[in-house]
Amino acid sequence: MTLEAVKEIVADWILVTYDLPSTKEGLARRHDFLRAGKYAGAVQHSESVYYMPMTQVAVEAITKLSEGSGGAVFVWYTQAASESLAQQLTTVYDKQVLEWIEKVGERVPKISEHLAKGHMKMASNMIEKTEEALDVLLGIIIRRGSQKLFESYQSVKKHLNEVAN
C-alpha cells in the first residue's frame, strides 16, 4: 500500500490557539482540547498554539473542537508566507508525528514480553490500544501525505502484527 497523494511540503495550514482559564472547568477543557487536537492531527508550535495540515477532515474536526465552552479556542486557516517557511513547518510537523509513531512502536516489545510471560489479558489490552493509536495515526498520515511517515507507520504495524499473531 502506498499513499495516493504524496505531499513533500505542506503550504496550507490550520492554526489553533486557545485561551482557557485556570479554573477546574478550564483545565478540563484544556485536557479535552489537547487530547482531541492530537487525535485530529494537531501538533504544538508554541505555548497555546497548535497547527495541522489543512484538509476537509481536519477543518471539520477542529471546528467542532472549537465550539466547546469554558474558554476560547480560535481557528485560523493560513498559507505559509514562503516555501522555506512551508518546509520548516512541514519538517517540525513530521518530526512530532514521527515521535508519536515511535512512541506507539515502543509498546510492541512490551506486548511481546507480556505474551512470553503468559499475561494474555494485559497483552490483549495493549494490542487493542496500540491498534487504536495506529488507526488514528494512519488517518493523520494519509491527510498529511507523507510517504516517510507512512513507511514508519507500516514498520510498526508489521511488527505489531508479527507479535500479535
Indicate whether 73 and 127 sit together in one domain.
no
Q: Is residue 137 within 8 Å of residue 100, measured between CB atoms? A: yes
pLDDT, position 114: 97
Residue 87 covered by a domain: yes
Q: Does 2 reside within a domain? A: no
| Number of domains comprising the chain | 2
User: Does 154 reside within a domain?
Assistant: yes
Cα 23 versus chain centre, distance: 27
Residue 105: which domain range? 83-164
* Residues 96 and 153 placed together within one structural domain of the fold: yes
Residue 44, beta-bridge partner list: 50
pLDDT of 3 > 70? The answer is no
Cβ neighbourhood burial of 82 (10 Å; 0-12, 13-18, 19+): exposed
Q: What is the pLDDT of residue 130?
A: 98
pTM score of the predicted model:
0.88
**Looking at 38-52, 77-91, 135-149, which range is the least confident one?**
38-52
Question: End of a domain among 61, 79, 97?
Answer: 79
Q: Are residues 72 and 112 in the same domain?
A: no
Q: What is the CATH number of the domain that holds 31?
A: 3.30.70.240
